[in-house]
């Protein structure tokens, strides 16, 4: 699929098309919803753990868990 950035780059020297493209295809600025809490390490928006203010996605949490003080018991 053609991403927003790729198409934007192709038409960047055609100002009229850029303004139309932005008007109809720009992603919304959201004040709430999962998109407002991306992973602080990789920026992923899916599977983000917000509990205890972690803000890591589940993949990064596995890597960072011990460093931020989580330990395995039993
Ligand atoms: Zn992540």
Tens of pLDDT along the chain (74 residues) come to: 778 889 999 999 999 999 999 999 888 888 988 888 999 999 999 999 999 999 999 999 999 999 999 998 87
Spacing, Cα 61 to ligand 1 middle (Å): 7
Q: What are phi and psi of 48, to 5 degrees?
A: -85, 130
What pLDDT does residue 35 have?
84
Spacing, Cα 37 to ligand 1 middle (Å): 11
The Cα–Cα gap between 13 and 8 comes to: 10
pTM: 0.61
Residue 57 three-state SS: strand
What pLDDT does residue 30 have?
87
What pLDDT does residue 28 have?
85
Spacing, Cα 25 to ligand 1 middle (Å): 26
């Amino acid at each position: 699929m053609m991403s927003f950035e790729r198409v934007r780059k192709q038409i960047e020297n055609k100002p009229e098309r850029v303004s139309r493209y932005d008007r109809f295809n720009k992603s919304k600025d959201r004040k709430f919803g999962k998109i407002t809490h991306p992973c602080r390490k990789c920026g992923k928006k899916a599977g983000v753990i917000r509990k205890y203010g972690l803000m890591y996605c589940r993949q990064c949490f596995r890597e960072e868990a011990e460093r931020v003080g989580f330990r395995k018991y039993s």
